[in-house]
Amino acid sequence: DVKVTQSSRYLVKRTGEKVFLECVQDMDHENMFWYRQDPGLGLRLIYFSYDVKMKEKGDIPEGYSVSREKKERFSLILESASTNQTSMYLCASSLPGRHSPLHFGNGTRLTVT
């Protein structure tokens, strides 16, 4: 079974802090994703990576950046956290096939105060 592990389940940070969310997958998947989940809005793609050091902006990249230095690890960075970034963050990975399903981590619930 694919395992996608997010380093923190809950995080509380202060406005203006730099925040790192880490994600590791153990199945050698090429694709990795960061989503944000908010009630009534579903999942919105922040960033996508299809290979080491490669990234594509998703639908809501503003205020975020990402890093993928190794195939198994994909980090989401909030350069200067703001209260409107309080949310559930979900990492996912997949094979590059046309109908490969996403495999999700358990999520990180971030609160910015």
Partner 1 sequence: AQSVTQLGSHVSVSEGALVLLRCNYSSSVPPYLFWYVQYPNQGLQLLLKYTSAATLVKGINGFEAEFKKSETSFHLTKPSAHMSDAAEYFCALTSGTYKYIFGTGTRLKVLA
Q: Select from 31, 75, 87, 93 the one that contacts partner 1 (CB under 8 A).
A: 31
Residue numbers 59-98 binding partner 1 by CB under 8 A: 90, 92, 98
φ, ψ at 63 (rounded to 5°): 90, 0
- Distance, in Å, from the CA atom of 4 to the CA atom of 80, rounded to the nearest integer, reads 26
CB of 65 to partner 1, least distance (A): 18
Rg of the chain over all Cα atoms, to the nearest angstrom: 13
| 102 binding partner 1? (CB under 8 A) | yes
> Count of CB atoms within 10 A of residue 41's CB?
10
Q: Are 76 and 34 in contact (CB under 8 A)?
A: yes
Q: Select from 25, 36, 64, 105 the one that contacts partner 1 (CB under 8 A).
A: 105
CB of 31 to partner 1, least distance (A): 6
Q: Select from 65, 82, 106, 113 the one that contacts partner 1 (CB under 8 A).
A: 106
| 45 binding partner 1? (CB under 8 A) | yes
Burial class, 7, CB count within 10 angstroms (exposed 0-12 / middle 13-18 / buried 19+):
middle
Given the rule CB under 8 A, which residues bind partner 1?
A: 4, 9, 31, 33, 40-43, 45, 48, 50, 56, 90, 92, 98-99, 101-107, 109
